[in-house]
Amino acid sequence: MGFLGNAEMQMRYKFGYATCILIGWLGSFAQATLPEARLPESHLALFEKYCYECHDSVIEEGEVDLETISFNLSENLETAETWQKVLNALNSGEMPPDDEPQIPNLEKTGLLDDLSNELAGARKILSDSGGKITMRRLNRREYQNTMRELLGVEVDVNALPEDNAGSGFDTDGSSQFISSDQIEQYLKIGRKAVIEAFQRRANAGFSRPMVFRIEPEDTVNPVLRNEIKELDDQRARFLAWKAGVDRAAAAPENKEVLAELRKKNPKNVPPNVEFYRNAELLKGAPNPKDYGFRDVGRAAFSNSSTDRVYTYYKHYIELPHNDRGTYLKTTWGTGRILIKPPVGTWLPGSYKLRINAGIAEGAPSFRHFIQLGHPQRENHLKSGITGVISTHHITGTIEAPEMLETEIVVGADTIREFAIQERQPAKGTALSKIYHADKAKNGYGHTPSIWIDWIELEGPIAQSETLLDQTLTQYPVINSTSSHTVRTELDAVREFLTAFARVAMRHTEPAEAFIDQLVAIYEKERTGGELLRINWNVLEDAIASPISIILASPGFLYLNEPGDEAASRSLNDRELAVRLAYFLWSAPPDATLFALAERNQLSKPKILRQQIDRMIADSWSDEFVSGFVPQWLDMERLDFFQFDVKLHREFDESTRASARQEVYQSFSYLLRNGDKGPLGNLLNSDYVLIDGLLAAYYGIDGVTGDAFRKVALPANSPRGGLLGMTAIHAMGSDGVNSSPVERGAWALRHLLNDPPPPAPPNVPQISRLNDQVLTTRERLSAHMEEAQCASCHRKIDPIGFGLENFNAAGKWRTQESDGEGKRKKVWDIDASGAFHKGPAFGDYYELRELIAQREGDFARGFVEHLIGYALGRPFGFTDEDLAIEIVSSAKKEENAVSAFIHALVRSEAFQKK
């Protein structure tokens, strides 16, 4: 097969080598053609020579008969199982046995390559959906979005199990499940959310929002002044105590004690701390308690603990402009500014957070950022947050500070205490080495970088009406004050519940008996409340139950489409609206879609096209991007590792978040760029989509603020396209070193659509080279020695080597090293190499160009994933036609990302049940 295989060639590769099938595909494709994953007959000779002695039809050693077994691996489960057994035995080196002739390396490599790939193909064929789309329920993302639309509440879905526990996309109905725990969680989460929604409705009555302002010169600086005063005092007490100890030491009666101490440890002499720790052994030594120290240990160490921070504090308090603001400290002291309005004033809702701040002159660009989060309360330190909620670029100067504005969402359960700090690693003390290095240079520690003038919080901001609000307006529920009118109240409740259930169930009719039961539950709770009927709260509590039951019922949870397996039917317009909305928004259809569906207009091609474009343009399609892209590109690994602060200081949680966004933004830029958004730009482009943080990370000037934007790149930039992105390289690392294997396998899987088979079990690990100092290339060369490794790694490793110019954190480098101290070896990175049975490349740039030329393969892989995500079933053989159709249709529109979406939604598969 030629290297620059187009999509058709790729398909042949993936689904076997049988000629008849190939003809079937290249000619008019017949649905009836059975796919196979076939092991090439050319391996037969090998089996004859090395295996038949035991594994022929006569002996059948271990019940494995290689003489009569079908070479069609996908014939049935049993055949696949037997071949799996063969593969395992070869991989583990168990077969052929040591005392038998061994298969020459090259032949074995070829066999393992074919066998493992065909077996993966067979598994796919055998687990093919046959075109069935299994009914699915809302996954965690969709549930959260849907609840937000209905109630305006951000629910916490962590109590629900993760959706892709099996494998595949979180939209795949056949691998989803539901358990009793989960149903109970839906009830619980729903009830909580409804109550919060009621609270928000009540709050909406307040006309004037709360405004809370923090002047840090009044909150942080007094603390700092006090800390300095305490340190001064501590030092004075220490010196007084020490003088007493020194006097005692000088006294002749202690001569022997001194000698003994010195004998025990030569360090036990003044002025060492060790000596003063033993002060109580001296006769006439002062009691540390008289000097305010708990014991001698505290007293002896009080001097050095003062030293550690004293000059740092002193330096910061004496900085200019401290009278009207404060500088953020890291590592020691008050490192955060608390945002904590008085208890009870912070009602659920959205708030504006404004921060006026500037940067001290000369501060390095990566230190121009603040992190927002909840303060950590695990220890007494006045620094640290529990996690980064958002990161913000400080752009002004101290003379001309600039105001940044962001939004905070506060739910019923949100901790009513936020804080900001200068960006720093998750473990704040991780910077202490840098602090001491700085201190050795400048005499005090970290140089000041961020100056905060003031912080302001305002809210709650008026919210748009939720679906619950709308329903309540339309069907008001007012509780009756007299027993005569209870009937009227129950009727109103019934009407309201019916209407709300219809809204929640995406415009389907709930069962009447269901509403009866809900009303009964309402009535029971209502009268259960000691006849406190005039109290609104009772009404609300009582109606919260039936609402939360609706939100845990199958009509809400499942995207159900009645159907008949024997005869597929077209979706009606309402069902189409639902599929479309959950595909492109991960949320329910809006009023426009429902209105079009009601008039049976949505399925009209022209209108459908308009609606897709509208939906893509809408910011809701961010939900599609953040739902689909990380699953398509397997980005889970991005969160696996804490990066080594010593090696990769700048790769903190803030960088991680921006790096993730870069991938999403690059995709949505193409998605929303109409016919000028070619998918291939993800392989190579002359621009990047970055925010101020990544601009600083990549060393690109002139980008400020938190918004991502398109920035043109200079001609020789390694950035541009996925292979230039930090996220991709961080995923291909372990937080310390780059991993050419991870990166190479990722590129094969996601860029070239040539996925290596899953990592096989029981392959002997080569550890011969482990204690040697070697270049990465030398170390991985061992992969080529054993057929079990070479069969995959000959494809994987060269690509990984080509990406070695990116370190674990995605920064560009030209050198690498191994070993430490005298054994340390430094070498220039050689990124040259060649694809297995493909063209050679001289460096990273050439590799990127070769990969960019395979846009067809990339598009094909993208389509397979898009189908799996959109239809909610794993891509399989059944979808071959569909994939070809979408690929060729999008090709006519320059491979614009939106063209793929249009083609997929237009397809029968998308519009049929």
Q: Return the bridge partners of 402, or none.
A: 357
Residues 822-881 interacting with other proteins (rule: CB under 8 A): 874
Q: Does 641 bind other proteins (CB under 8 A)?
A: yes
Alpha-carbon distance 446 to 600, whole Å? 66
Smallest distance from other proteins to CB 165, Å: 5
Handedness of CA 466, 468, 472, 478 (dihedral sign): negative
Residue 518 interacting with other proteins (CB under 8 A): yes
Q: Which of 207, 767, 814, 815 binds other proteins (CB under 8 A)?
A: 767
Rounded CA gap, 795 and 778, in Å?
A: 16
Among 280, 644, 843, 846, the residue binding other proteins under the rule CB under 8 A is: 644
Least distance from other proteins to the Cβ atom of residue 161, Å:
5
Shortest distance, position 764 Cβ to other proteins, whole Å: 9
Residue type, 357: A
Q: At a CB cut-off of 8 Å and minimum separation 6, what does 834 contact?
A: 798, 840, 841
Q: Which token pair is 827?
A: 């070498």
Q: Which of these segments, 64-72, 128-136, 286-294, 851-859, binds other proteins (CB under 8 A)?
A: 128-136
H or E segment to which residue 687 belongs: strand 687-690
Query: Quick check: 734 binds other proteins (CB under 8 A)?
Result: yes
Contact 147, 138 (CB under 8 A): no
**DSSP secondary structure letter of residue 383:** -
Query: What is the C-alpha to C-alpha distance for residues 913 and 904, in angstroms, rounded to an integer?
Result: 15
- The residue range among 320-328, 509-517, 619-627, 676-684 that interacts with other proteins, by the rule CB under 8 A, is 509-517
Q: Which residue has the tokens 């219809």?
A: 502
Residues ≥6 apart with Cβ < 8 Å to 791: 108, 109, 110, 111, 112, 113, 116
Strands 336-339, 390-393: pairing is unpaired
Tokens (6 digits) for 181: 């725990």
Report DSSP letters for 132-194, one per residue: ----EE--HHHHHHHHHHHHS-----TTSPPTTSSSS-TT-GGG----HHHHHHHHHHHHHHH
Contact region with other proteins (CB under 8 A), list: 523-531, 572-580, 668-676, 797-805:
523-531
Asked if 760 touches other proteins (CB under 8 A), the answer is yes
Give whole-number Cα distances, 179 to 185, 514, 591, in Å.
10, 21, 33
Pattern 372-391, binding to other proteins, x per CB under 8 A? ------x-------------
- For residue 564, the minimal CB distance to other proteins (Å) is 6
Both structure tokens of 879: 């979808």
Q: Which of 383, 553, 654, 726 binds other proteins (CB under 8 A)?
A: 553
Please tell me whether residue 432 binds other proteins under the rule CB under 8 A: no
337 in Cβ contact with 219 (< 8 Å): yes
C-alpha distance from residue 127 to each of 24, 70, 386, 509 (Å)? 22, 19, 43, 35
| Shortest Å distance, C-beta 600 to other proteins | 20
Regarding 555 and contact with other proteins (CB under 8 A), the answer is yes
736 binds other proteins (CB under 8 A): yes
- Over the window 62 to 101, marking each residue x when it contacts other proteins by CB under 8 A and - when it does not, the resulting string is ---------------x--xx--x---x---x---------
* Residue of the chain from 6, 33, 70, 182 that contacts other proteins (CB under 8 A): 182
Which contacts qualify for 436-443: CB closer than 8 Å, 24 or more apart?
Answer: 439/311, 439/312, 443/311, 443/315
- The residue within the footprint of other proteins, chosen from 15, 454, 514, 858 (CB under 8 A), is 514
- The footprint of other proteins on this chain (CB under 8 A) covers a number of residues equal to 81
Q: Which is nearer to other proteins, 353 or 538 (CB)?
A: 538
Which residue shows structure tokens 């006439």? Answer: 284
Tokens of residue 651, six digits: 């790769």
Least distance from other proteins to the Cβ atom of residue 510, Å: 7
Q: Based on the shown chain and the rule CB under 8 A, indicate whether residue 161 belongs to the binding site for other proteins.
A: yes
Tell me whether strands 833-834 and 825-828 are parallel, antiparallel or unpaired.
unpaired
- Of 140-148, 264-272, 487-495, 731-739, the window that binds other proteins (rule: CB under 8 A) is 731-739
401 or 510: CB nearest other proteins: 510
Write out the binding residues for other proteins, residues 608-637 only, by CB under 8 A: 636
Of the candidates 410, 453, 413, 417, the one whose C-alpha atom is nearest the C-alpha of residue 338 is: 417
Contact call for residue 135 and other proteins (CB under 8 A): yes
Q: Which of 231, 328, 547, 552 binds other proteins (CB under 8 A)?
A: 552
Nearer to other proteins, 515 or 693 (CB): 515
Q: Quick one: which segment of 158-166, 206-214, 471-479, 797-805 binds other proteins (CB under 8 A)? A: 158-166
